[in-house]
Amino acid sequence: MSIGLLVLVLLLAVLLVLAWRWKLDFGPIVARFIEQFAILVPRMLCALVAAGFIAELIPKQTVSNYLGDDAGLMALPVAAFMGLLIPAGPVIAFSIAAVFARSGASTAALVTFITAWSLFAAHRILIYEVPLLGPSFLRFRALSVVSMPFVAGTLAYIVGLVTGFGEAIPIH
Amino acid sequence: MPLREPFSDPAWRRKVLGDAFGRGFWGFFALAVLMGAICYALRGMEVTRDILLNDLVQLTKLFPRVCVALSIAALIWYLLPRDRVSELVGSESGLMGLVIAAAAGMVTPGGPSSAYALLAVLALSGADRGALIAYITAWATLGLQRILIWDVPFLGAEFAFLRILVSLPLPIIAGLIARQLPIELRVRGAEASGERTL
């Protein structure tokens, strides 16, 4: 069992004890669980399968050519766009980031890519955000955070002008 | 808050089934089949099969997480003192509310299943729009668990540290932008609470 899951299980145990001591009615709690489970899980199955295929089809090596140091700040929009396109969890996103890093992507481009992916990963929006919070929330959030990958990337670019600190050492 | 259990109610059952296998589900289903067909045509049988097997492995890891995360969210939904939430991160909470929300996002354990389920609880418990955006932005860009498990091994500790550094202002900036946006925000809610306009 991973650490993340272990923490969640412990948290669940604490909450169960609390609910039991406060004599909460478990009927509505179970009902809410079932409602959210029904919204999430069937879509999750299909989205996961689709995401696996899409990640395979993205031309990673070609894109890397646009993310190098010589591209400067121009690499940021390309990196941000790539982040939007990866509809998959951290395993695939960070493997792709490592591919980019190995083929010479700049630190600023990597920061932009990861930030864009973490904010806009399409699978997360489609599986969790829209079903649980609705399209109005998605539109509102997108407007609020659309500039964030560029803010992070530009800050990383400025740091890079001053010092070489922070360069990625990708795994092989 | 409804105190009677709804399981025997046929309308509730129909709604749950509709949520599970409605239009959204079939859209995803079609996308998965289409992408699989393209992958098969371009990369051949072996790659397609490997991807499907890998999906299966991921699912077995994901399924227990989703179950635990949704149980937590369902419990918190009934345990959380709503008035305390609006006091801490409500519309009167100012900059401090954004900082608290961002800190909560950073330490929320688990993947999107727990973060979004908690976000939905917060949205209907009196958190203001800026705090909601600060929370989910911090979880996405600065989640400590993700940085430790993914950034450090894949790209190195130095890079991870730089990314934390340049990402620290993001949740606050995003939260401030969210408070200024002149558009209406409607959050989907549970049956009992209906929709809430923030």
**Reported ipTM exceeds the 0.90 cut:** no
Q: Cα dihedral sign for A114, A41, A128, B123? A: negative
The closest of A37, A39, A84, A32 to A58, measured between CA atoms, is A84
**What's the DSSP call for residue B141?**
H
Element (H, E) at B187: strand B186-187
pLDDT tens-digit map of A58-116: 777 778 888 888 888 889 999 999 998 888 788 778 888 888 888 889 999 999 999 99
Q: Contact A137/B140, CB-based, under 8 Å?
A: no
Judged by CB atoms closer than 8 Å, whether chains meet at A148 and B141 is answered as yes
All residues of chain B having their beta carbon less than 8 Å from the beta carbon of residue A41 are 20, 66
User: Would you call A16 an interface residue with chain B, using a CB distance cutoff of 8 Å?
Assistant: yes
**pLDDT tens digits, one per residue of A103-159:** 889 999 999 999 999 999 988 898 889 888 989 999 999 999 999 999 999 999 999
Nearest to A118 among B21, B34, B141 (CB): B141
Query: What's residue B190's pLDDT?
Result: 44
CB A168 within 8 A of CB A110: yes
Q: Which residues of A touch B187 (CB under 8 A)?
A: 133-134, 136-137
- Which of A19, A46, A115 lies at the smallest CB-CB distance from B32? A46
Task: Render pLDDT for B75-134 as a digit per residue (tens, 0 to 9).
Answer: 887 887 777 887 888 888 899 999 999 999 998 877 788 899 889 988 888 889 999 999
Closest by Cβ to A152, choosing from B129, B167, B195: B167
Using CB atoms within 10 Å of the CB of residue A167, give its burial: 0 to 12 exposed, 13 to 18 middle, 19+ buried.
middle
Q: Quick check: B42 contacting A, CB < 8 Å?
A: yes
Nearest CA in chain B to A27: B5
CA-CA distance, A151 to A29, in Å (whole number)?
41
**A76 — contact with chain B (CB < 8 Å)?**
no
Structure tokens at B104: 């909560």
Q: How many other C-beta atoms are found inside a 10 Å radius of the C-beta of residue A139?
A: 13
Alpha carbons within 13 angstroms on the beta-carbon side of residue B19 total 21
pLDDT computed for residue A116 by the predictor: 97
Report the pLDDT value the prediction gives residue B107, as an integer from 0 to 100. 86
Residue B194, judged by CB atoms within 10 A of its CB (0-12, 13-18, 19+), counts as exposed
Chain B residues touching residue A129 (CB < 8 angstroms)? 116
State the sign of the Cα–Cα–Cα–Cα dihedral A153, A156, A160, A164.
negative
Query: Is the predicted pLDDT of residue B3 greater than 60, yes or no?
Result: no
Among the partner residues B19, B39, B79, nearest to A15 by beta-carbon distance? B79
Q: Is B172 within 8 Å of B98 (Cβ atoms)?
A: yes
Residue B2 confidence (pLDDT) above 80: no
**Residue whose structure tokens are 């766009």:** A81
Taking 50 as the threshold, does the pLDDT of residue A50 lie above it? Answer: yes
Using a CB–CB cutoff of 8 Å, tell me whether A103 touches chain B. Answer: no
The separation between the first and the last C-alpha atoms of chain B, rounded to the nearest angstrom, is: 21
Chain B residues close to A127, C-beta within 8 Å: 112
Which amino acid is present at A144? Answer: S
Helices B129-142 and B170-180, packing angle to 10 deg: 150
Of A32, A56, A141, nearest to B74 by CB-CB distance is: A32
What are the chain A neighbours of B168 within 8 Å (beta carbons)? none
Q: Name the burial class of residue B154, with classes exposed (0-12), middle (13-18) and buried (19+) by CB atoms within 10 angstroms of its CB.
A: buried
- Distance, in angstroms, between B178 CA and closest chain A CA? 5
3 state DSSP class of B186: strand
